[in-house]
Structure 1
Amino acid sequence: MIRTPLRPLARILRARERGENPDEIEAENRRMRHEEIQDKARRRAEGRLILMAGCFVLAFVTVGLRMGALASSEPSEPRAQVMSAQIMSQRADVTDRRGRVLAMNLLTHSLYAHPHQMIDPVRAAQGLAKIFPDLDGAKLTEDFTGDRKFMWIKRKISPEQMQAVHDLGEPGLLFGPREMRVYPNGHIASHILGGSGFGNEGVSSAEVLGVAGVEKAFDGWLRDPANDGAPLVLSIDLTVQSAMERVLDSGMKLMNAKGAAAVLMEVETGEIVAMASLPDFDPNDRPRPLLKGDPSDSPLFNRAVQGQYELGSTFKIFPVAQALDLKLINPNSGINSKSPMKIGKYLIHDFHNYGTQLSATDVIVKSSNVGTVRIAQMVGAERQKEFLEDLGFFAPTPVEMVEAPTGQPLVPKRWPAVTSATVSFGHGLAASPLHLAAAYATIANGGRKVTPTLVHGRKRPEGEQVLSPVAAEMAVSMLRQVVTRGTARRAEVEGYEIAGKTGTADKPRPSGGYYDNKVVATFASVFPASDPKYALVVSLDEPSVSTGGGESRTAGMTAVPVAAELVRRLAPLLGLKAKSDVTLPRIDPRIMAHVEQGATDAVKLVSNK
């Protein structure tokens, strides 16, 4: 800053020439300098006042807007900012379609030790061994009396165990709060839920992570605070799921099967209402995976999603439906069924001799291999392959489970005439029961592709039309006749019009070829046939049941009765009413025994009831 001198020399000299007093010049300059300083100070003060006034106005406007926002919002309870609330909010619940809890969080405690703080480590080790029988008292004594400064005792304990440890009165035994994942329904829907485990953990909290099933597939979503604790709503119905598992378990034991799987799916939406795989497990105590041997021997193996099976004659409806769609045949078309049929060096036989000709409908009803191959030849290998790909048999199902990608169908690399023939009746291509359920749902849905899902109520794009509605309706009619007069007559449940197809496929050996006495028996169905709502697939691994003629492994004698009982039990739970209010009386087995022996006193048994 350049300051003006109080006694400028030029003015002083001029003043002296004119006889004026030079001191007056200095006094005037001093006065002007003071006025300038005062003006700057006044402007600075005014600026500060304006700034403060602006800040006050801004503060009042902010408070007013916030008060207005609070006044217009819905009232809610305040949330306590405590450790337990933070722990409990780490993972959202999982519910069924009706809001019933399938997986939830529970506040519990961990138990850890600071051995150097213990008063009597030997007594503490003995006391813990009594409270937790799975702990080794000698090993605990060794650890407590050693050089360790910290050690975990239990990752999670019950309130009763916590009280028992507390009663030991040992200051070196400490508790840490944490959440644990609880599955209140035990084994029910265990393969769907999968299970969870601990990730990063400390003494005061632990990170819960999904390890399988939907818990793993939706792990990020379940842990996302932005969802504000909203539950993951699955498409399954807990009541239907529980009933399915009970019936399937009884059927598996009755049919002496190694394992079993079942899928119940809504035809229109693709939502899976129930899906079971046996044997199963309790996700609260998830077993360790097998490190060697056949993966299907583990209860963790999901046969419905991961199982890759040749599904036998259940595939026969696909080439027939495609031929109907292409107008190559109609339901009454005559098909050459002369057996055996030769393709190259291979012979294809029928289980029975059906004569030289069958109608297209009877090819399905009687389950003719030869007739099915003849129809597949009309379609052609390339079109057959494209149709099966459209139905989803060439890729894993997109169902929301981490196990889904492992269910990659085993598709032949080449597609010569013999492969086209064997695939037409369900051999040479291996897929999961879920693949089959989605394909049958597609036929029942008027030919519009159905994509399976485990999430309820989610909007999805409409599926591709892979089959004309007319051809799909004719295919369902054929499947209905399989139940009324074909290989699945044991599937008839009064009032529910089941339509379906049996499939009995020999199990392949790991070394090549097929077992002579091991099969996978499958029944794929839709119901009610007049207005399909649900698709149901039941599959039994290595079933065997004693019959009057010896031992049977066919699907008609094993999977079909189990499926019929499932429909009988599940249909009322699904809200489906039987078409007829009249229930046919069941014939007393004692009467049947007397009739077969030619007895004449059967009428007496009826009159005595």
Structure 2
Amino acid sequence: MSFLSRVMVLKSRAHISAGGRGVGTSLRGGTFESARKRKSGQTRVRVGLIIAGFAVCYCAIGAKLAYYGMLDPESTASIMPADRLMASRPDLLDRNGEVLATDIRTVSLFAEPHKIVDPDEVIEKLRTVLPDLDTRQMYNKLSSKSRFQWLRRQLTPKQQSQILALGIPGIGFRPEKRRFYPGGPTASHIVGFVNIDNRGVAGMERYVDTQGLADLAAVGMTSGQPLEPVRLSIDLRVQSILRDVLMESITKFRAKGAGAVVLDVHTGEVLGMASAPDFDPNDPAAGGEDGWLNRMSNGTFEMGSTFKSFTLAMGLDSGKVNMNDMFDARYPIRIGGYTIKDFHGQGRMLSIPEIFQYSSNIGTAKIADVVGIDGHKDFLTKLGLLTKMQTELPEVAMPGQPREWKKINSITISFGHGVSTTPLQTAVAGAALVNGGKLIEPTFLPRTREQAEEVAKTVIKPQTSANMRWLFRWNGVKGSGKNALVEGFNVGGKTGTADKVINGRYNHDHNFNAFLAAFPIYDPQYVVLTFIDDPRSETDHAVLAGNSAAPMVKEIISRSAAILGVKPRFGEDGTAMLVSY
């Protein structure tokens, strides 16, 4: 083949090859366009899914934030806001302006565990200042994954200074307020105490919170605000005397407990009230449960023969008994398998004053029988002895009484067995017997006579009250109240020695002793009630109320009468001097 022919063949092949590639390119171009469109659609779907995912995440986060925003801050944080930590409480003052409770500034120690490198080293350093730290508990806190842990609340300034000098990273201090009680245990059961977060737990501290302080603190309206002090009705001087007398008596008689109250008969104001054992509100845990119990308002007891005062008043007020009546007390009363007899039996007919003077169970039971079961129950209810007492203190117990009153119940209740009441409400009912017949609910806040008249309820006739004042005076001079007499102050009253229930039975060797008194009895201004639980003599026998509770009243009145503004009177007409020259 010639050279020319060979060139022509090559051109022909080149033409065919070029034409083939053009067709292929055209075909591949269409396929690429289709793939491009398909990939574009997939991209849009993916972007849409990503946008939707982000939207869902942000909605979930927003919902969670909204949820947390509606929760109380304490449930969403380990530490309260600063305004809550620095929330103020009003000072508590006595009637003369003496401080009973106030706030002081302090600091608390906290840690941020995520900043702690070596928990053991931190604990070792802190123990040089706080040697009572719980090592195991502290290690768990410092090695936890949380970002905040309280280590110790309410440090002293000296402790704060010493810890600062240690230079420990990851720990700090938060300002707080701490409640301080200058009088310590003097008025502990009245004032009460607060918890670690400065919230009222008991006593008038709790009462103040229930009157709106807790609500204001919850919304941060008490932070740094000076609040108006709350003035109480008690006189700190009288309160101190009461506590001294109780502590001395418990030691002297080796008793389980004791209590006393001084009550204004015309206003219902509590001038002083103490219960022992007690506690120091600056460190309430140290007092234990026995010290926390307010036996005056939150303890119920069978008040013994002090109840004879109410039984005689009931008989006189009903009109079925008068001061000149005589009752046969020669023979014991046998009923329902029980025998009712007198401790100081006279074996003869007794007048009303003699029934009171000799504390005759037989005579008192017969007076209750004259009135009847329903009348007896109604009278005690009217005096507030069978219902829960209304006052500011949260710690108030409900009295106990039989489910069904039968004749045997009425008889035993007439002389103070079978019904348990609080000593405070016994004193309140006693005030009604001597103040003209008006029952005035007790208060721990100042109250005028005019304000008292608005809440007073007439429960007995004025003449009945006059007769009871006479009987109280008679018993104070002739009967079991002689050991409570204070020269110049004309003390009258009634003792009560109740056998305690031991293992389901009354035990004559264990007594609950009380004395209900009023002074000056010619024009009563104050009621004083004392009790002592299970006093023992030197021979380890029970002691009667006339030898234990009555002398307590004498000591209280002799030391507090002048403070209360009661002027002594000597002689029959009250004009004689104590010593004649």
- Structure-2-length-normalised TM-score: 0.79
> In structure 1, what residue type is equivalent to 2:523?
D
> In structure 2, what residue type is equivalent to 1:237?
D
How far does residue 255 in structure 1 lie from its aligned partner after superposition?
A: 1.6
Counterpart CA distance in 1 for 2:538 and 2:119 is: 62
Q: Aligned residue for 1:67?
A: none
Q: 1:370 to 1:115 in 2, by over 3 A?
A: same
Q: Aligned residue for 1:426?
A: 416
Contact 2:111–2:150 (8 Å) recurs in 1:
yes
Q: Look up the SS of the partner of 2:436 in the other structure.
A: coil
Q: 1:390 to 1:265 in 2, by over 3 A?
A: same
Q: 2:490 aligns with which of 489, 492, 497?
A: 497
Q: Look up the SS of the partner of 2:561 in the other structure.
A: helix
Q: Aligned residue for 1:488?
A: 481
Contact 1:518–1:542 (8 Å) recurs in 2:
yes
Q: How does 1:290-309 map to 2 (within 5 A)?
A: 298-309=290-301
Q: 1:333 to 1:413 in 2, by over 3 A?
A: same
Counterpart CA distance in 2 for 1:497 and 1:332 is: 24
Contact 1:128–1:137 (8 Å) recurs in 2:
no
How far does residue 507 in structure 1 lie from its aligned partner after superposition?
A: 0.9
> In structure 2, what residue type is equivalent to 1:170?
I
Contact 1:319–1:379 (8 Å) recurs in 2:
no
Q: Aligned residue for 1:370?
A: 362
Counterpart CA distance in 2 for 1:139 and 1:421 is: 60
Q: Is 1:464 the equivalent of 2:457?
A: yes
> In structure 1, what residue type is equivalent to 2:565?
G
Q: How does 1:179-198 map to 2 (within 5 A)?
A: 179-198=177-196
> In structure 1, what residue type is equivalent to 2:466?
E
Counterpart CA distance in 2 for 1:342 and 1:258 is: 34
Counterpart CA distance in 1 for 2:429 and 2:346 is: 28
Q: Aligned residue for 1:452?
A: 442
Q: Look up the SS of the partner of 2:553 in the other structure.
A: helix
Q: Aligned residue for 2:430?
A: 440
Counterpart CA distance in 2 for 1:266 and 1:141 is: 57
Q: Aligned residue for 2:400?
A: 410
1:436-476: CA deviation from partner (whole Å, max 9, x where unpaired): 10011111111111211111137342412111111111111
How far does residue 192 in structure 1 lie from its aligned partner after superposition?
A: 1.1
Q: Look up the SS of the partner of 1:283 in the other structure.
A: coil
> In structure 2, what residue type is equivalent to 1:473?
A
Q: 1:171 to 1:419 in 2, by over 3 A?
A: same
Counterpart CA distance in 1 for 2:282 and 2:319 is: 54
Q: Is 1:506 the equivalent of 2:496?
A: no
How far does residue 128 in structure 1 lie from its aligned partner after superposition?
A: 1.3
Contact 1:156–1:180 (8 Å) recurs in 2:
yes
Counterpart CA distance in 2 for 1:338 and 1:317 is: 21
Q: Aligned residue for 2:470?
A: 477
Counterpart CA distance in 2 for 1:115 and 1:414 is: 64
Counterpart CA distance in 1 for 2:556 and 2:147 is: 58
How far does residue 584 in structure 1 lie from its aligned partner after superposition?
A: 7.2
Q: 1:364 to 1:516 in 2, by over 3 A?
A: closer
Contact 1:124–1:168 (8 Å) recurs in 2:
no
Contact 2:278–2:287 (8 Å) recurs in 1:
no
> In structure 2, what residue type is equivalent to 1:105?
D
Q: Look up the SS of the partner of 1:299 in the other structure.
A: helix
Counterpart CA distance in 2 for 1:289 and 1:236 is: 23
Q: Look up the SS of the partner of 2:379 in the other structure.
A: helix
How far does residue 326 in structure 1 lie from its aligned partner after superposition?
A: 2.4
Q: Look up the SS of the partner of 1:310 in the other structure.
A: coil
How far does residue 583 in structure 1 lie from its aligned partner after superposition?
A: 4.4
1:185-238: CA deviation from partner (whole Å, max 9, x where unpaired): 11111111221114xxxxxxxx52111112112214344459971122211111
Percent sequence identity is 37
Contact 1:244–1:570 (8 Å) recurs in 2:
no
How far does residue 120 in structure 1 lie from its aligned partner after superposition?
A: 5.9
Q: Aligned residue for 2:22?
A: none
Q: Aligned residue for 1:6?
A: none
Q: Aligned residue for 1:124?
A: 122
Q: Aligned residue for 2:10?
A: none
Q: How does 1:170-569 map to 2 (within 5 A)?
A: 170-198=168-196, 207-221=197-211, 222-223=213-214, 224=216, 229-287=227-285, 298-404=290-396, 407-457=397-447, 459-460=451-452, 461-509=454-502, 511-546=503-538, 551-569=541-559
Counterpart CA distance in 1 for 2:86 and 2:151 is: 22
Unaligned runs of 5+ in 1: 1-82, 199-206, 291-296, 586-609
Count of residue pairs brought into register by the alignment: 484
Q: Look up the SS of the partner of 1:378 in the other structure.
A: helix
Q: Look up the SS of the partner of 1:208 in the other structure.
A: coil
Q: Look up the SS of the partner of 2:368 in the other structure.
A: helix
How far does residue 146 in structure 1 lie from its aligned partner after superposition?
A: 6.0
Unaligned runs of 5+ in 2: 1-80, 571-575
Q: Aligned residue for 1:160?
A: 158
Counterpart CA distance in 2 for 1:489 and 1:399 is: 33
1:548-588: CA deviation from partner (whole Å, max 9, x where unpaired): xx844210111111111111111122121221374479xxx
Q: Look up the SS of the partner of 2:321 in the other structure.
A: coil
1:267-326: CA deviation from partner (whole Å, max 9, x where unpaired): 001111111010000111112797xxxxxx611111101111111100001121122222
